[in-house]
Amino acid sequence: MSLIRIFIGFDPRETVAWHVLVHSILRRASRPVSFTPLALSTLRGLMWRERSPLQSTDFSFSRFLVPYLSDYEGWSLFMDCDMLVRADIAQLWDLRDERYAVMCVKHDHRPHEDIKFLGAVQTKYEKKNWSSVMLFNNKRCQALTPDYVNTASGLELHQFKWLASDDEIGELPTEWNHLVGYNAPNAEAKNVHYTLGGPYFREYANCEHALGWFIEKEFMLRVDQRDGAGAS
């Protein structure tokens, strides 16, 4: 049984999102999982590129260090933190296909707004949101060195220009990266992506699948106490 290695983008402005996502995965997982937060404070010496005005999160580019951090061995899963997993992550892991270097949901995502959460600029480009969930076949992603990740343009990275061709990109089912506010509502989505802004922001507290996120947060905060035992 292989360990499911999961790397999740971390931004201190969305700390609660990271922890709720981790909890949602762990609560449903049927196999061992490991979690690595891609926090810039832990990546000193690996991430030195200056922050771009178009960069909406701390992990816009650090996600492409996953193959390097995995020693270019086996498979690894990357996810944005603004997500909620509603199914067994092993189902996604089992979709790995050695024919491909990377696998993702191939959205045709054409945002109509100019600004999203926290006033971030909504950039528009081909293959947008493909890189928000990626299964990396690490040995075939050795072009993603720290030097390349720090010097390549945003489009080179997010449009997978580091691959020889798009034939190396495998397709995952849309239900594993359901874009709230863009995809048609889907009560059966297995991974909900609050790409415009999560329920933890006041403006999006009533978005699709918001209730599920708040319920998950309550599960995460659970602590059982003995009868008669008070908090000190």
Q: Collapsing DSSP states into helix, strand and coil, what is residue 179?
A: strand
User: Is residue 20 domain-resident?
Assistant: yes
Q: How many domains does the chain have?
A: 1
User: Is residue 226 domain-resident?
Assistant: no
- Cβ-in-10-Å burial (0-12, 13-18, 19+) of 193 comes to buried
pTM above 0.85, yes or no: yes
- Report whether 29 contacts 89 (CB < 8 A): yes
The two tokens of residue 109 are 């995502």
User: Is residue 228 domain-resident?
Assistant: no
Q: What local confidence, expressed as pLDDT, does residue 228 receive? A: 66
d(CA 81, CA 114): 21
Host domain of residue 206 = 4-220
User: Is residue 19 domain-resident?
Assistant: yes
User: Is residue 169 domain-resident?
Assistant: yes
d(CA 16, CA 2): 28
CATH of the domain at 86: 3.90.550.10
User: Is residue 45 domain-resident?
Assistant: yes
Tens-level pLDDT at each residue, the chain (232 residues): 689 999 999 999 999 999 999 999 999 999 999 999 999 999 999 999 998 877 789 999 999 999 999 999 999 999 999 999 999 999 999 999 999 999 999 998 565 655 445 555 556 558 989 999 999 999 999 999 999 999 999 999 999 999 999 999 999 999 999 999 999 999 999 999 999 899 999 999 999 999 999 999 999 999 998 876 555 4
